[in-house]
Amino acid sequence: MYRLAAENKDDWWEVEALYDLTFAPGREALSSYRLREGVLPVADLCLTARDKDDVLAGVIRYWPVVIGENNAKTLLLGPIAVHPTRQGEGLGGLLMRESLSLAKQAGWGRVMLVGDAPYYQRFGFNKAPDLNFPPPVNPDRILTQELAEGAFKDVSGSVRKSED
């Protein structure tokens, strides 16, 4: 059993240590990190998962980005991480489902990520047409999900940092 809670400032070091453990060195060189630099995450959607002993087992974060000439506000999901000793327990799925539900309740219409389609398709993500993500990125790994029907209709172009 896990307790989900919004990430708070006291969680920062522990969360960063989990990201360092679960991702390869140099993770911050990925193009998605350029969209996060100097931008605050969407705090209400950044969740931690702790076990009964209050040990951090998983975490998920979201960041605001804009797409195209009309600056369509969009969520950038990631990173999501589960401690290696807790993988295979469904914790990643729990974090995904709960955070996406919270995003929808908060009025967000669209979300995107860079990741493996076979994993993320089970949560409703599909390959994104007509989006230009900062390089280097494999276009087949750019995935989107509409949280509101038609949210990606007429949304195309470059994905950029949010200035808000």
Q: In the predicted model, is pLDDT for residue 25 greater than 90? A: no
Which residues neighbour 94 within 8 Å (Cβ) at sequence distance 6 or greater? 2, 4, 49, 58
pLDDT confidence tier of residue 152, bands split at 50, 70 and 90: very high
| Structural domains of the chain, count | 1
pLDDT confidence tier of residue 29, bands split at 50, 70 and 90: low
Paired strand residues for 67: 72, 159
Average pLDDT of span 43-63? 97
For the question of whether the overall pTM of this predicted structure is more than 0.75, the answer is: yes
Give the burial class of 53: count Cβ atoms within 10 A of its Cβ; 0-12 exposed, 13-18 middle, 19 or more buried. exposed
Report in angstroms the alpha-carbon separations of 151 from 46, 84, 95, 117, 162: 22, 35, 22, 20, 18
Contact 121, 96 (CB under 8 A): no
Q: In the predicted model, is pLDDT for residue 48 greater than 70? A: yes
Q: Which domain holds residue 135?
A: 3-161
- CATH assignment of the domain containing 81: 3.40.630.30
Averaged pLDDT score across all residues of the chain: 94
Nearest to 47, CA basis, from 61, 36, 57: 61
Distance of CA 20 to the CA centre of its chain: 16
